[in-house]
Each structure stands twice: as structure tokens, then as C-alpha cells.
Amino acid sequence: MEISYHGHSIVKIKTNGTNIIIDPFIRGNSLTDLKVEEEKPDVILLTHGHNDHVGDTIELAKANNSLVVAPNELANYLATQGVNVHNMGIGGAFGFPFGKVKYTLAFHGSVYETENGEIIDAGNPGGILFFAEGVTIYHAGDTALFGDMKLIGERHPIDVAFLPIGDNFTMGPEDAAYAVSLLKPKNVVPIHYNTFPVIKQDPNTFAELVKTSNVQILNSGDKVVL
């Protein structure tokens, strides 16, 4: 398995011969090393409907016949755009040939704005647990700190967690560090920071606050070390 980070909340996973991308916000993301025309995802996993997470999903999915796994209402909208979708709900899990996906709680919003300015209700936001090759990955999506993170960590021992630290819209460094103490992942990667001025953070501040896990501060294109 190969896991890499690509700026903002983009995570790529290569496993079982499958190329997976989570929250492919590429165009408009000044921190990413990716180019839409070069990406060939087999599967796209989405945490919620905000445009800085759905990003280039529709174009990528149509160009590559990708399967898009998303929360139910967001998946329904994407299906109307000609995208191959698999609908899921919070708390639900499904075993795909490439691995198992389970949606967790996330405390945030979830609407999608079309190019015409139409606001689409994208249902509930979520985090994603992904299981493959004996590895458990947790992508928290955009979320506040919440107590049930302790249950997530207890029920599903996590090898690497991707947690937002940008503050303003999500957890900041202090709350994210407390989230680590609840989740108890072996490794943690800070995400969703520095893309825009309002979420500018020093990830080293977060790293200094974390006492129980190995913090990996990654530049766009860097791989996670398990």
C-alpha cells in the first residue's frame, strides 16, 4: 500500500491494484502538486459536499469512469451529472473489491455550489475509515472535535489519521491534538491548513502538542511512512 498527501485535504491511496483519491480539490488549490489531466483514479472517496472537497470529482470521474463513493445526498446529485456512484450513510460500511469503506460522524456543514451558483443540499458530512491490506486509515474530513472520536479509535485501531488543523472552519491545532489523544492513531498527518489565509497555521505547533502518536508533517506529494 502507498499513501500520499497532496495539499489541503487530498489523500491518495494505491492498494490492491486500485488508485484511490480522497477529496480531489485540485484546481484552485495552490498547495497541490497534482494536475487534473494527469490523474487516473479508479475510485474517488468524498467526505462531504463543500467545493474545496468535491473539487474536480465530476471531471475526473467522467474522464476515468471512476467509482465515486459519497454520502447519500451528495452521491444522488453526482449521479445526475452522469457520474458512477455508490451511496453511503453515516455509520455504514461496505466491502469493495479494493477495501472496506466506513463513514463516521463529522461535525460540519455540507452544501455544493454549482457553476451557475445553485446551492445543492449535500446531506450529512462525514469522516472516512478505510481498511485494506491490514491497514486502517482515518480521514476525518472537515470536523470539529467531538467525544465519539474515542469510540472510533477504540473500535478501529488506526494506523494513520488525517486530521484538519486549520481552525476557523474546523478544529484548530489545540483541538486536533486533543482529538489525537482520543483516537490514539499510530501516526497522524495534519491537513486542511494554509490553503487560504483564514486557515493559516504552523503544523509544528500541532506536532508539539501531540504526545501519544507519531506526527508526520507532509508537503504535497510526500508519502506516509507506516
All three cell numbers of 209: 502538542
Distance, in Å, from the CA atom of 128 to the CA atom of 124, rounded to the nearest integer, reads: 13
Question: Which residues of the chain carry a pLDDT beneath 70?
Answer: none
Query: What pLDDT shows up at residue 220?
Result: 98
Query: What pLDDT shows up at residue 139?
Result: 99
pTM: 0.98
Cβ–Cβ under 8 Å, residues 40 and 68:
no
Within its chain, how far is the Cα of 203 from the centroid? 18
Cβ–Cβ under 8 Å, residues 91 and 126:
no
Query: What pLDDT shows up at residue 189?
Result: 98
Phi, psi (deg, nearest 5) at residue 186? -65, -40
User: If you ran DSSP here, which 8-state letter would residue 76 be given?
Assistant: H
Query: What pLDDT shows up at residue 25?
Result: 98
CATH number of 2-215: 3.60.15.10
The DSSP bridge pattern shows strands 160-164 and 18-22 to be unpaired
Within 8 A by CB and 6+ apart from 58, the residues are 78, 81, 83
All three cell numbers of 58: 465530476
Query: What pLDDT shows up at residue 168?
Result: 98
Query: What pLDDT shows up at residue 178?
Result: 98
